[in-house]
């Protein structure tokens, strides 16, 4: 009779570097499995992928034994690695931060194919290209010119918006200064009227 899975846990761990310390211990400790055993098995199976982040799905059974399945590294991680960048764009496709080659795109698509909802490498390449675009990473010869244009237009629009904001801030400052002047004038008139009433 098959053992019953009581819990499934998903983790992303750097290949060959699992330790019982947090975050692994924090997540798996309460599940009651042998942390040292998990770390040893995980590190052994991922030693050849050092430097990659490996998503792992752990099935925990009622007798506290476990199995785990290694997935392919996240697309964003593979794109950053290929582009040699630490992080993607904060503005999505409106800011170009790096370019990868079509060969890089194909390699990433081939790596990710087992975990993607795609029937072939071409379909997988389209999915990865979309992820790269959202990160501000262009693919040379595929969409680099289009993204460069888009980033240029976005930069011009941003500069114009900043100019409009600056003008608006200036107008607000002038309006505030006018109010301050009026307040002072009113205050002076009040003092004068008080002085006059005292004289009378």
Sequence-distant (≥ 6) Cβ neighbours of residue 110 within 8 angstroms: 121, 124
131/9 Cα distance (integer angstroms)? 25
3-state secondary structure of 69: strand
CATH of domain 75-149: 1.10.10.250
Q: Does pTM surpass 0.85?
A: no
Task: Per-residue pLDDT tens, the chain, 200 aa: give them.
Answer: 567 888 899 999 999 998 988 888 888 888 888 999 999 999 999 998 888 889 999 999 988 889 999 998 899 999 999 999 988 888 777 778 888 889 999 999 999 998 888 889 999 999 999 899 889 888 887 777 777 787 788 788 888 888 888 888 888 888 777 666 555 555 555 555 555 555 55
Domains of the chain: which residue ranges?
A: 5-70, 75-149
CATH of domain 5-70: 3.30.1550.10
**Do 81 and 108 contact (CB within 8 A), yes or no?**
no
Query: How does pLDDT run across 65-101, given as a tens digit for each residue?
Result: 899 999 988 999 999 999 999 888 887 777 788 888 8
82/110 Cα distance (integer angstroms)? 14
Query: How does pLDDT run across 59-73, given as a tens digit for each residue?
Result: 999 888 899 999 988
**Do 44 and 65 contact (CB within 8 A), yes or no?**
no
Which helix or strand (DSSP H or E) is residue 54 part of? strand 53-61
- Total residue count of the chain as it appears in this document: 200
40/16 Cα distance (integer angstroms)? 9
Q: Which residue has the tokens 């995980």?
A: 42
41/33 Cα distance (integer angstroms)? 13
Query: Alpha-carbon torsion 134, 140, 146, 150, what sign?
Result: positive
């Amino acid at each position: 009779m098959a053992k019953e899975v009581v819990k499934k846990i998903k983790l992303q761990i750097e290949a060959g570097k699992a330790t019982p310390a947090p975050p692994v211990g924090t997540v798996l400790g309460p599940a009651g499995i042998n942390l040292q055993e998990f770390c040893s098995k995980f590190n052994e199976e991922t030693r050849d992928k050092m430097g990659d982040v490996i998503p792992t799905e752990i099935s925990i059974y009622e007798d506290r034994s476990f199995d785990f399945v290694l997935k392919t590294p996240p697309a964003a991680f593979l794109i950053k690695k290929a582009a040699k960048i630490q992080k993607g764009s904060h503005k999505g496709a409106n800011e170009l931060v790096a370019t990868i080659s079509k060969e890089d795109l194909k390699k990433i698509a081939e790596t990710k194919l087992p975990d993607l909802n795609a029937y072939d490498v071409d379909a997988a390449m389209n999915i990865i290209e979309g992820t790269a675009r959202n990160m501000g990473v262009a693919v040379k010869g595929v969409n680099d010119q289009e993204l460069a244009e888009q980033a240029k237009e976005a930069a011009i629009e941003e500069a114009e918006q900043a100019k409009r904001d600056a003008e608006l801030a200036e107008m607000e400052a002038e309006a505030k200064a006018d109010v301050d002047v009026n307040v002072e004038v009113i205050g002076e008139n009040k003092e004068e009227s008080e002085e006059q009433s005292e004289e009378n």
